[in-house]
């Protein structure tokens, strides 16, 4: 196992890239610590698979380096990198039994049949496929085929990293949550570095200790699920994580104070020096409340989702949602909104521009 470093990485699928838009990866500098459980989260097309394929060696980056424990691997082929990769769709040998599918990567490395049997028993039990070991893979359902793909990646205990590229795409919804928690458990048992790629925040947040959020070929934030929820570093992270996502509304900035529809809004702390362009207030629906005074808003929609309701309001043209417990207003009502100051952040050009009170 190894620490993986991506340094000054850029990648374009075009032979002569001209503008930033020609790059699938714009500039990536990233360390993946040995033994970490990572999720790589971002919308379709943001460059997740490109990044994985550069780590595994299926792609050579246009610029920059891939290092394993400081050793340059950038131009080595995949089989010299000792990596296991699981793809969106199952990659297995249909004509072989499940047992032989699992054994294949181990036999390739000259592992003894006794050790192979031991390892397969362990992995098959974890994936709940022990009763299928003698079945031919061709006859399996897509779910089970994908489990076998995962098993083939996990059966080796000497890999530098196990990478999963949206592995639950073909899995039945009711099995998804089960496999997801299984993977988490597997990580805790095998302690290999794992990178789990997904566009689904729930999958990312349940699996990972650290989530790397990508947008348009760039990393916008790396953090624990709690950090991403609490202090999104970019409005994109705020929108993408949370349900509904963070409210982001245009505001005015005068002498370091934020004004929204003429009223001053207390921020979590001071606005960073020099950050003034396109100011916006960001606050999560969980930290907006109804009150007797505050910002006047009109209720547009009320969605009752059990213990609480999501109330969508408009302040002028801008949308603000809030989570309401207890009595909910009606569509069309005028209400007054309060923002919890410690949770009210300022963003400039999309990036977090406030410091926390007491912090630097």
Residues of this chain that bind ligand ADP (CB under 6 A): 13, 24, 42, 44-50
Whichever of 24 and 212 has its CB closer to ligand ADP, that residue is: 24
Report cis status (omega within 30 of 0) of the bond before 244. yes
Nearest to 161 by CA among 84, 276, 50, 251: 84
Considering Cα of 9, then 51, then 194, then 154, what sign does the dihedral take?
A: negative
Question: CB atoms < 10 A from the CB of 96, how many?
Answer: 16
CB of 168 to ligand ADP, least distance (A): 15
| CA 273 to chain CA centroid, nearest Å | 30
Question: Residue number with the shortest CB distance to Mg ion?
Answer: 49
Give the residue among 105, 100, 106 at the shortest CA–CA distance from 135: 100
Q: How far is the CB of 80 from Mg ion (least distance, A)?
A: 24
C-beta closer to ligand ADP: residue 47 or 282: 47
C-beta of 24: minimal distance to ligand ADP in Å?
3
| Least distance between ligand ADP and beta carbon 212 (Å) | 12
Pick 203 or 312: Cβ nearer Mg ion:
203
Please tell me the distance from the alpha carbon of residue 74 to that of residue 155, in angstroms, as a whole number: 26
**Minimal distance, residue 150 CB to Mg ion, in Å:** 17
Q: Measured from the CB atom, is 24 or 249 closer to ligand ADP? A: 24
The partner in contact with residue 338, picked from Mg ion, ligand ADP, none with C-beta cut-offs of 5 to 8 angstroms by kind, is none
Binding partner of 47, given ligand ADP, Mg ion, none, CB within 5-8 angstroms per partner class: ligand ADP
Query: Could you tell me which of 329, 327, 325, 326 has the C-alpha nearest to residue 314?
Result: 329
Q: Return the number of the residue (12 or 101) whose C-beta is nearest ligand ADP.
A: 12
Integer Cα distance of 264 and 159 in angstroms = 55
Which of ligand ADP, Mg ion, none does residue 281 bind to, with CB < 5 to 8 Å depending on kind?
A: none
345 within 8 A of 354, measured Cβ to Cβ: yes
């Amino acid at each position: 196992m190894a620490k993986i470093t991506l340094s000054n990485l850029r990648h374009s699928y075009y032979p002569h890239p001209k503008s930033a838009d020609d790059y699938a990866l714009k500039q990536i500098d990233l360390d993946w610590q040995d033994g970490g459980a990572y999720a790589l989260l971002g919308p379709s097309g943001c460059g997740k698979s490109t990044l994985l394929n550069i780590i595994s060696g299926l792609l050579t980056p246009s610029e920059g380096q891939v290092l394993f424990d400081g050793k340059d691997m950038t131009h080595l082929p995949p089989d010299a990198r000792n990596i296991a990769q699981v793809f969106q769709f199952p990659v297995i040998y249909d004509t072989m039994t499940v047992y032989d599918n699992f054994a294949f990567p181990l036999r390739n490395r000259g592992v003894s049949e006794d050790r192979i049997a031991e390892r397969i028993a362990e992995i098959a039990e974890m994936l709940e496929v022990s009763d299928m070991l003698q079945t031919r893979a061709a006859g399996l359902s897509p779910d089970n085929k994908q489990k076998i793909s995962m098993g083939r990646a996990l059966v080796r205990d000497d890999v530098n990293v196990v990478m999963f590229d949206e592995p639950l795409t073909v899995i039945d919804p009711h099995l998804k949550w089960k496999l997801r928690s299984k993977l988490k458990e597997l990580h805790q048992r095998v302690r290999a570095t794992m990178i789990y790629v997904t566009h689904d925040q729930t999958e990312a947040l349940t699996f990972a200790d650290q989530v790397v959020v990508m947008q348009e070929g760039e990393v916008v934030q790396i953090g624990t699920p709690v950090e991403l929820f609490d202090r999104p570093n970019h409005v994109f992270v705020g929108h993408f994580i949370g349900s509904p996502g963070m409210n982001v509304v245009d505001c005015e900035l005068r002498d370091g104070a934020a004004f929204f529809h003429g009223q001053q809004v207390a921020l979590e702390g001071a606005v960073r020096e020099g950050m003034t362009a396109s100011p916006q207030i960001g606050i999560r629906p969980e930290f907006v409340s109804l009150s007797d005074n505050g910002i006047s808003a009109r209720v547009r929609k009320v969605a009752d989702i059990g213990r609480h309701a999501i109330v969508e309001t408009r302040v002028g043209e801008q949308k603000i949602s809030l989570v309401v417990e207890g009595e909910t207003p009606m569509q069309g009502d005028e209400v007054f909104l309060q923002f919890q100051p410690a949770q009210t952040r300022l963003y400039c050009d999309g990036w977090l521009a406030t410091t926390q009170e007491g912090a630097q």
